[in-house]
A and B are shown apart, each in its own frame.
Chain A
Amino acid sequence: MPSEKSVIALDGARKHFGAVRALDGVDFHVAPGECVGLVGHNGAGKSTLVNILNGGLSLDEGTIRISGELVDAYSVSRARQAGVRCVFQELSLCPNLIIVENVRIAHRDLGRSAWRKNAETLIRDQLGKVFPGHTIRTSELVGNLSIAERQMVEIAIAFLEISNPVKLVILDEPTSSLDAVLANKMLAYVRQFVADGGAVVFISHILDEVLEIADRIFVMKDGKAVVDSTASKFDVASLVQAMGSVVRENERRDTTAAAGTVAIALKNGSLQAHKGEIVGLAGLSGHGQTDALVRLYLENTGDWRSRRNNQVAFVAGDRSVDGVLPLWSILRNMSLTLLPDLTRRFFVSVARERELGKLWRERIAIRTDDMQNDILSLSGGNQQKVLFARALASPAPVVLMDDPMRGVDVGTKQDVYSMLREEAGKGRTFIWYSTEMDEVRQCDRVYVFSEGAIAAEFAGEDVTEENIIRASFKEAAA
């Protein structure tokens, strides 16, 4: 790669988060007048790469060059100086400010005098250029705009040029809230911007869109670049194939016997699980899987009173936020959902609680010498085991799991997989949202979510990585 010409060039980029290798030796270059389509499934390292490019994260290893010059201390302000702009996937404007004021925040080079008037003219022109015929008033409070309008404003602000020339714009799912007409307007503008010598990194789950706009496709998997070549060589099918990995066989459980009775279902009938089944919720993260789980839970437990024999147990995903009570002991953390069952005449029976703790400590091998120890004395994986025990120890016949294995080591994962299979064999039902393909493949049946709805359903032999990726990435723009 002729990196002297590149707007920005990463070489041998590595970034680790604990044991997770988010970027594992990636070379990434963007030349002026080029649009790079960046694709990959969950956890492939796309967001990390974006955050490195915009200066939000620093590299553990590797070099960053801007226009051929080696940069040591790359930061957010250095990135902006170099003309790198970013539109983030989650909307990132200040909802309490009007559009003009958001322009002020985004552009430090606006100058002090008469900035309101300047920002007003600039953003009005820019919105007109990207989305001709829009009806957004620049004095409107961002909080009062629709999601599509916010995204339009954000895109316009990113392309706005004041004193620093805009050289590279990173668009992370820019069309996710736009309808087809607006998306096409934006794509046309991006094409023009690239033709005029600008560089764009384009991330989208709509593969047609990526193939249509990008000159070059950069496919990531497990923190590595697996493909980096011209877009014309690809079609949707080959792109899907490139994102997947070598197919690994794993033995299927025989679940035909249990497939009779429905154990739990959403009220609108879109999702159901049979007794003894492990049902996976897959798709790109944040496409409605957690909402579906929460809805399932609330529809089946929506009750003010706490009671014995709950029908559904929940294993939270974000351990530190939704799961662990950091000041409590391991035992207390584990017995939390069981307290009504352990209670006799208003008091918790300490003996029964201890007994339960002993039983589960042996069953799932929690690595501690005393269940009275602080929960935080355990490693992340073992904390997660405790949360599993909290759900499994309850008599609830249905267990909902919200991507519970994030940041858990491989050994623990294997333990949990076999535990789940064993429990499912006994007739328990699991509904498992996971962002990891290995885990999804453990499931008997999988629902693939896209844009808040179920896009596809696969069972048995059809639960393959390729099928799931194809369903998560849309083939045609809506």
Chain B
Amino acid sequence: MTSDRLRQLLPAFSLAVLLISVFYIQPRTMSYLGLNLLFNLAVPIALATIAQMLIIAVNDLDLSMGAFVSFVACVAATFLRDTPLLGVLILAGAIGVYALVGILIYVRNLPAIVVTLGMSFVWGGLAVLILPSPGGAAPEWARWLMKTKPPGIPMAIVASILIAGIAHFLVMRSSFGVVIRGVGGNERSVERAGWSILWVRAAAYASAGFFAVLAGILLVGLTTAADANIALRYTLLSIAGVILGGGEFTGGRVSPIGAVIGALTLTLAGSFLSFLRISSDWQIGAQGAILIIVLALRVLLNRSKQGAGVR
């Protein structure tokens, strides 16, 4: 029981350790502006992580996440700004395609990794078609959303808490989330109870698409312009975020709050290295190192749990 609790606290603990180290090295970050700067890039990553988590919850993996977020960013910086109605239609269609991909993977019994890898080229190609060279401009409201300054707490923190709360309600509390995680845990028993696995999977993919669309829009809100390759790193970042946050690749074991914390930790790792005056080339390596350390801790906790004979 105690090691279960410890496991749940591990993501928060790693974030705290990293945050304290950053505060120690650069005390000026301990301010409204500092915190906002530290974390505002984490907001779209957190959304993409939640999207990835929904796919992982049904035992699949989405390798098109980065390309899809880039595609959304390009749509947001062009159509959504110039012809909002058309922009909304395109994005709604994209969510529909996500649902179709989920259906295709289930009906034809295909490996999700292969299908989504293929889709990543489709999304990447579409993004280049829309924006052959970096450019476009963020819709005013998206920019406002990311630049707004609520009193007391920086926007990045507010947004992260909001995302975690909504995702927690959707995935952990609602009946919809229970069925999705049930499919990840034991698909046959869900099927035997009379649920349509097809629709559950389609819904999981569609909600993932929805969160990824939000990630793309907010990313453009931050950067104010888009580029077809703007979010390619999100694929691996989102997977790492889910795992760092206590999720597992199989068995429907996911944690939305953990996933958001995981995304924050990964973002912070980058800044931490900059404060240490280490070149940004090393950042990805450092993120990997953090991932390995946290996972190693988790394995240790699991071992101690088994050793204690708790079933």
Which A positions have Cβ atoms within 8 angstroms of B? 54, 56, 76-77, 80, 86, 88, 92-97, 101-102, 104-108, 110, 112, 115-116, 144-146
Residue of B nearest to A100 (CB): B178
Give Cα A86 to B191, complex, Å.
Answer: 13
Give Cα A116 to B195, complex, Å.
Answer: 18
> Which residues of B155-196 are within 8 A (CB) of A?
173, 175, 178-179, 181-182, 184-186, 188-195
Assuming the contacts A144-B310, A144-B311, asked whether A97 and B182 have C-beta atoms less than 8 A apart, the reply is yes
Q: Give, as a whole number of angstroms, the nearest-CB distance from A42 to chain B.
A: 22
Assuming the contacts A54-B192, A107-B193, asked whether A94 and B252 have C-beta atoms less than 8 A apart, the reply is yes
Assuming the contacts A96-B181, A97-B178, asked whether A76 and B186 have C-beta atoms less than 8 A apart, the reply is no
> Which residues of B172-225 are within 8 A (CB) of A?
173, 175, 178-179, 181-182, 184-186, 188-195
Residues of A within 8 A of B4 (CB): 144
Q: Give, as a whole number of angstroms, the nearest-CB distance from B181 to chain A.
A: 6
Q: A97-B181, A116-B173 are in contact. List 8 more A-B contacts (CB 8 A).
A: A94-B252, A96-B181, A101-B181, A101-B182, A105-B189, A110-B175, A115-B175, A146-B311
Give Cα A195 to B4, complex, Å.
Answer: 44
Residues of B within 8 A of A92 (CB): 186, 188-189, 192
Residue of A nearest to B311 (CB): A146
Residue of A nearest to B179 (CB): A105
Give Cα A303 to B135, complex, Å.
Answer: 61
Residues of B within 8 A of A146 (CB): 311
Q: Give, as a whole number of angstroms, the nearest-CB distance from A177 to chain B.
A: 12
Assuming the contacts A105-B178, A112-B175, asked whether A96 and B184 have C-beta atoms less than 8 A apart, the reply is yes
A95 and B185 contacting across the interface, CB-CB below 8 Å: yes
Summed over the interface, the residue pairs from A and B with CB atoms below 8 Å come to a total of 67
Q: Give, as a whole number of angstroms, the nearest-CB distance from B199 to chain A.
A: 12
Residues of A within 8 A of B147 (CB): none
B193 and A96 contacting across the interface, CB-CB below 8 Å: no
Give Cα A92 to B192, complex, Å.
Answer: 9
Say yes or no for B125: interface residue by CB 8 A criterion: no
B178 and A104 contacting across the interface, CB-CB below 8 Å: yes
Residues of B within 8 A of A93 (CB): 186, 189
A94 and B185 contacting across the interface, CB-CB below 8 Å: yes
Say yes or no for B253: interface residue by CB 8 A criterion: yes
Give Cα A54 to B194, complex, Å.
Answer: 11
A105 and B311 contacting across the interface, CB-CB below 8 Å: no
Say yes or no for B251: interface residue by CB 8 A criterion: yes
Q: Give, as a whole number of angstroms, the nearest-CB distance from B253 to chain A.
A: 5
Give Cα A92 to B188, complex, Å.
Answer: 8
Residues of A within 8 A of B311 (CB): 144-146
A94 and B189 contacting across the interface, CB-CB below 8 Å: yes
Residues of A within 8 A of B188 (CB): 92
| A-B contacts, 13 listed (Cβ < 8 Å) | A76-B192, A88-B192, A92-B188, A95-B185, A96-B251, A96-B252, A101-B178, A105-B190, A105-B193, A108-B194, A110-B175, A144-B311, A145-B311
Give Cα A204 to B279, complex, Å.
Answer: 68
Residues of A within 8 A of B191 (CB): 76
Give Cα A112 to B174, complex, Å.
Answer: 9
Residues of A within 8 A of B186 (CB): 92-95
B192 and A94 contacting across the interface, CB-CB below 8 Å: no
The 10 closest A-B pairs by CB, nearest first: A94-B185, A77-B194, A96-B185, A92-B189, A94-B186, A96-B252, A105-B182, A101-B178, A94-B182, A96-B253
Residue of B nearest to A110 (CB): B175
Give Cα A165 to B266, complex, Å.
Answer: 52
Q: Give, as a whole number of angstroms, the nearest-CB distance from B310 to chain A.
A: 7
What per-residue 1/0 map shows which CB atoms of B241-259 lie under 8 Å from chain A? 0000000000111000000
Give Cα A112 to B253, complex, Å.
Answer: 23
Residue of A nearest to B176 (CB): A112
Q: Give, as a whole number of angstroms, the nearest-CB distance from A116 to chain B.
A: 8
A108 and B181 contacting across the interface, CB-CB below 8 Å: no
Residues of B within 8 A of A76 (CB): 191-194
Give Cα A80 to B251, complex, Å.
Answer: 26
Give Cα A92 to B251, complex, Å.
Answer: 13
Residues of B within 8 A of A86 (CB): 192
Q: Give, as a whole number of angstroms, the nearest-CB distance from A355 to chain B.
A: 40
Q: Give, as a whole number of angstroms, the nearest-CB distance from A376 to chain B.
A: 18
Give Cα A115 to B195, complex, Å.
Answer: 17
Give Cα A56 to B188, complex, Å.
Answer: 10
Give Cα A104 to B175, complex, Å.
Answer: 7
Residue of B nearest to A93 (CB): B189
Residue of A nearest to B188 (CB): A92
Give Cα A80 to B173, complex, Å.
Answer: 25
Q: Give, as a whole number of angstroms, the nearest-CB distance from A120 to chain B.
A: 13
Assuming the contacts A105-B178, A105-B179, asked whether A80 and B193 have C-beta atoms less than 8 A apart, the reply is yes
Residues of B within 8 A of A56 (CB): 192
Q: Give, as a whole number of angstroms, the nearest-CB distance from B252 to chain A.
A: 4
Residue of B nearest to A104 (CB): B178
Assuming the contacts A105-B179, A144-B310, asked whether A97 and B185 have C-beta atoms less than 8 A apart, the reply is yes
